[in-house]
Amino acid sequence: MKSSVFNDELLTFLSESPTQFHAVQNMTELLKKAGYQSLEEADEWQVRNGGRYYVVRNGSSLVAFNLASKEAAATQGVRMMGAHTDSPCLKVKPNPELFQKGYFQLGVEVYGGVLLNPWFDRDLSLAGRVTFQDKSGTLSSALVNFIKPVAMIPSLAIHLDRDVNNNRSVNAQRDLPPILMQVNGDEMINMRAILCEQLKSEYPSVDVAKILDYELALYDTQPAALVGLQQEFIASARLDNLLSCFIGLKALLSSDATQNALLVCNDHEEVGSLSAEGAQGPFLLSVLERLWPDPEFRTRVLRKSFMLSMDNAHGVHPNFADRHDGNHGPVLNQGPVIKINSNQRYATNSESSSLFRWLCEKVAVPCQSFVVRSDMACGSTIGPITAGGIGVTTIDVGVPQFAMHSIRELAGSRDAFALYQVATALCDCERVIV
Ligand code: ZN
């Protein structure tokens, strides 16, 4: 695969996946196209050697895998890749309707560690999952996406806040409700009625009787794009961490299927991963238990396995270079970053990082390393949680980026393809334990 084709597909995936639900739906479409079979957790499974399968939980987490053979599992383990499907954002509250000064606005809840200032003055739309009752009384869920800009959070003019450039802070309750429309004095608008209309327009054949509940997020309608005089950057929302989901998916699809390989993409990383479908929940383990039910055999498989946990890293920002350790400042477009933290905020150890360096050399991709400044707190990701949950040797890596958790993030346009090459090499590698 050429890097320009990879990047084109990545930009489309980012733009068409405004929520974790849409990301999982788009990933399952690509898996289906490649011949992967869907497995339902509630059904009995009949899996066979050479088969390719995927399982979805809650519409927001996914496990997809290639089964080489039981013998390969026992002697060579499973090549695992992990990423997360969720991104920090503003979610619509359950009773969101606000009417102030003739404007209809929505109450919003902050999901995860949102960088709030960049959400102002953007052309916002709404997307998510809606659960409804149809005319026969049956409950169903469907995804909705308004696509066009329907909301905005306008800034306060500088003339009304002269100190804004020195000390602007954002009060999430007061400052964030977006404006959706103007209303007459006694006109009452209802979010569920709006959603009912939206659902009917997206699914004309569905007999919607009543919207019960929803998980809706605001998102920026500006599509993902290449930026820079030489197009050396990718600008988009949700680079953290849909970029890694896409890398893992493409690597799994490109692998030669001589090894057992698996991709897990979990929801709820941005809020600590503790949920039925999060990395702290039992989703991945329950899939592994069904593939290899005998505990002793499964332990043997896991001892031979390796997890590549992918989540973006902080590139050293030229205007704020002192926020990085002088010897560990990853640069955009200089390759994937190995993330190391002795206090186990990252699961990397010297053997897992050595294996990653060895794979990078094999495919002629440079790599970098990141350690947080000794006087600053370190972030974390699904790597240590998964390693702690199933006992697999793990490395935390990621593409370096700027503006993590902003509504518009920036990464290098060569790094995603580079990490994809390394991940594919991992999937096809015969031996993954030092
Ligand atoms: Zn992340």
pLDDT digits (tens, 9 = 90+) for 218-250: 999 999 999 999 999 999 999 999 999 999 999
Give the pLDDT of residue 381: 94
DSSP secondary structure letter of residue 385 = H
Give the pLDDT of residue 281: 96
- The alpha carbon of 83 and the centre of ligand 1 are apart by a number of angstroms equal to 8
Alpha-carbon dihedral sign for residues 172, 174, 175, 180: positive
Average pLDDT score over the chain: 96
Residue 71 pLDDT greater than 90, yes or no: no
CATH 3.40.630.10 intervals, the chain: 3-87+237-428
130 Cβ contact list (under 8 Å, min separation 6): 141, 142, 143, 144, 195, 198, 199, 211, 213, 214, 216
- The alpha carbon of 397 and the centre of ligand 1 are apart by a number of angstroms equal to 11
The predicted model gives 383-402 an average pLDDT of 96
- The alpha carbon of 115 and the centre of ligand 1 are apart by a number of angstroms equal to 13
Q: What separation in angstroms does the CA of 372 have from each of 6, 98, 326, 340?
A: 31, 42, 10, 8
Give the pLDDT of residue 349: 96
- The alpha carbon of 48 and the centre of ligand 1 are apart by a number of angstroms equal to 34
The predicted model gives 118-132 an average pLDDT of 98
The predicted model gives 403-431 an average pLDDT of 96
Residue 197 pLDDT greater than 80, yes or no: yes
The predicted model gives 255-262 an average pLDDT of 93
- The alpha carbon of 23 and the centre of ligand 1 are apart by a number of angstroms equal to 15
Residue 185 pLDDT greater than 90, yes or no: no
- The alpha carbon of 370 and the centre of ligand 1 are apart by a number of angstroms equal to 15
- The alpha carbon of 297 and the centre of ligand 1 are apart by a number of angstroms equal to 33
- The alpha carbon of 53 and the centre of ligand 1 are apart by a number of angstroms equal to 25
Residue 186 pLDDT greater than 80, yes or no: no
CATH 2.30.250.10 intervals, the chain: 89-220
- The alpha carbon of 1 and the centre of ligand 1 are apart by a number of angstroms equal to 26
Q: What would the pLDDT profile of 86-103 be if each residue is shown by its tens digit? A: 999 999 999 999 999 999
- The alpha carbon of 216 and the centre of ligand 1 are apart by a number of angstroms equal to 20
- The alpha carbon of 394 and the centre of ligand 1 are apart by a number of angstroms equal to 16
Q: What would the pLDDT profile of 25-45 be if each residue is shown by its tens digit? A: 999 999 999 999 999 999 999
pLDDT exceeding 70 applies to what percent of the chain? 100
Residue 1 pLDDT greater than 90, yes or no: no
The more confidently predicted of residues 380 and 188 is: 380
- For 284, the token pair is 């991945």
Q: Does domain 3-87+237-428 fall into CATH 3.40.50.2300?
A: no
Q: Does domain 89-220 fall into CATH 2.30.250.10?
A: yes
- The alpha carbon of 98 and the centre of ligand 1 are apart by a number of angstroms equal to 32
- The alpha carbon of 198 and the centre of ligand 1 are apart by a number of angstroms equal to 31
